Amino acid sequence: MALLPALLQLVSPALPVGSYSYSQGLEWAVGAGIIRDEASAGEWIGTVLEHGVAACDATVVAELMRAWADDREVDVARINEFFVASRESRELHAETLQMGRSMLDVLRDVDDLPPPTWRLLVRLRDGDGVAYPTAWTAAAASRRIAVPDAVTGYLWAWLENAVLAAIKCVPLGQRAGQRLLSRFGERIPALAAAAGVRQLDECRNLLPGLSLASMQHETQYTRLFRS
């Protein structure tokens, strides 16, 4: 498969890993009145994107891409452990492991992964769990996606899912969703570039509001999303 279609498949909302079923605390913030409209939804999404996903997750993606490319299995396992440990709430922890397992199901059907890669993924899954970025980057690396493109695509996929969650539960109109995608999409190249050169021990994802929202969502009575 050509490189661009290969990347687009991995960032598509049609990728059957269950990302559409998670809001990462956004649904609770709507119920609590913190997110009420396009402006407040943008403030929430922009903050999580810049100070959470781009500041930590995207660097993990870049590090994993390089580790897969260099066949550094020990580093892949170490980074996977780091990412799983960085999920502060029960829901966020369960989310990355569920999506990681689902990504393995996708890879079993559509990707011809090198046998050592597949064995490592299965070993991680059967141990403490395989994080979604770990499984996702295995596919991206096997398709020869460049690191900057992979990080950019990963950030875009997260942003699109967050905006779709806001459209559903704020609710926002489709045009408001497109405005948010355009607004924050412009930031992604710079965020991806910074994430690509950041060291893993420089990652920061201290977002107390997100952590509290995620924990509150665990006992939310009426909800559409799993997180």
Mean pLDDT of 197-202: 94
- 48-to-20, 32, 158, 211, 220 alpha-carbon distances in Å: 17, 18, 10, 11, 21
31 occurs within a structural domain = no
8 occurs within a structural domain = no
225 occurs within a structural domain = no
172-176 long-range Cβ contacts below 8 angstroms, 24+ apart: 172/37, 172/38, 172/41, 176/38, 176/41
14 occurs within a structural domain = no
CATH code of 122's domain: 1.10.4190.10
In the chain, alpha helices (H)? 3-11, 26-31, 38-48, 58-69, 73-85, 90-110, 115-126, 132-142, 147-169, 174-185, 188-197, 208-217
Q: What percent of the chain has pLDDT over 70?
A: 100
Q: Residue 202 pLDDT > 70, yes or no?
A: yes
171 occurs within a structural domain = yes
What are the residues whose beta carbons fall under 8 Å from the beta carbon of 64, sequence distance 6 or more? 76, 79, 80, 133, 134, 137, 138, 141
Give the pLDDT score at 69: 96
Spatial separation of the C-alpha atoms in residues 6 and 226, rounded to whole Å = 28
Spatial separation of the C-alpha atoms in residues 109 and 92, rounded to whole Å = 26
For residue range 9-39, list pLDDT tens digits in order: 999 999 999 999 999 999 999 999 999 999 9
164 pLDDT band, cuts 50/70/90, is very high
For residue range 170-179, list pLDDT tens digits in order: 999 999 999 9
DSSP structure class, residue 42: H
Q: Which residue shows structure tokens 């079923």?
A: 21
At residue 126, the 3 state secondary structure works out as helix
Q: What residue numbers bound the domain in which 152 lies?
A: 39-217
Q: Which residue has the higher pLDDT, 220 or 186?
A: 186
In 89-173, alpha helices (H)? 90-110, 115-126, 132-142, 147-169
Q: What predicted TM-score, i.e. pTM, was given to this entire model? A: 0.96
223 pLDDT band, cuts 50/70/90, is confident
Tally of structural domains, the chain: 1
Spatial separation of the C-alpha atoms in residues 210 and 219, rounded to whole Å = 15
* Residue 37 parent element (H or E): none
Give the pLDDT score at 1: 60
54 occurs within a structural domain = yes
50 occurs within a structural domain = yes
61 pLDDT band, cuts 50/70/90, is very high
Give the pLDDT score at 67: 98
Q: Which residue shows structure tokens 């890879």?
A: 107
Q: What is the average pLDDT score of the chain?
A: 95
15 occurs within a structural domain = no
